Amino acid sequence: MKTELLCALSAAVCCCGWTEAAEPPGKQSRPSEQRIAVPTDAVRIDDGDTLKIVWAAGDEEIVRILGIDTPETRHDEHDIPFDQPFGREATAFTRSVFAMADNVELLRAATVDPYGRTLGYVYVNGKNFSVVILRAGLAVESVSAFGDNGFPQQAAECVEAAKAAGPVPFEPPHLFRKRMRAVAERMRADGLLPPKP
């Protein structure tokens, strides 16, 4: 009983780093739970697990890809003052996969994340991108921490792909983010980073 309580508490503490000072998730206002076509030239890659879609009307949608967590790249505005090992490789991999795409589809979840980003699975040439990057060893699966988000089949595919790929050569990204937030705080106190707005 004591061990189970400690495990649950540890999991809760680890996950807190992802949602500090964020609003609770909200309802998705766009059509969800069905695959929709995305023009390939409308996709902009932010990092290994986040992309932006610039729709025809100029509307921009930021998508946090479900089922995965990739190594971080530097984002001072998010208190990540340094690249995580393999962060640039994960981003380059994502860019190259989408650059070769003949077709892209988005499967939105019914909710958005605490930062207002669309949560969804992205399909490239009919393949679940989360599975592709997991098999490449450039992501960890996030289903175990966050559940299936209403997509049990896609979530199971991610868990299976992560098991098949084996251990990754980098620190779990959520632990890296937590560590970098502490580093950023120290750097800000020492005047090495600008104060937060």
Is 64 one of the catalytic residues? yes
Phi, psi of 24, deg, nearest 5 = -65, 155
Q: Which one, of 193, 139, 197, 190, lies nearest residue 167 by Cα?
A: 139
- All structural domains of the chain, each given as residue ranges with its CATH number in brackets, are 21-189 (2.40.50.90)
Catalytic residue among 64, 89, 108, 141: 64
Is 72 one of the catalytic residues? yes
pLDDT tens digits, 70-89: 999 999 889 999 999 999 99
Q: Tell me which of 25-29, 86-90, 179-183 is least confident.
A: 25-29
pLDDT tens digits, 129-152: 999 999 999 999 999 999 999 999
Catalytic residue among 44, 74, 88, 117: 117
Q: Tell me which of 24-33, 80-89, 101-110, 184-193 is least confident.
A: 24-33
**Are 66 and 149 a contacting pair, CB within 8 Å?**
yes
One-letter identity of residue 125 = N
Alpha helices in the chain (DSSP H): 2-16, 87-99, 129-135, 143-146, 152-165, 173-189
Catalytic residue among 72, 89, 105, 157: 72
CA dist 57 and 47 (Å) reads 24
Is 177 one of the catalytic residues? no
3-state secondary structure of 127: strand
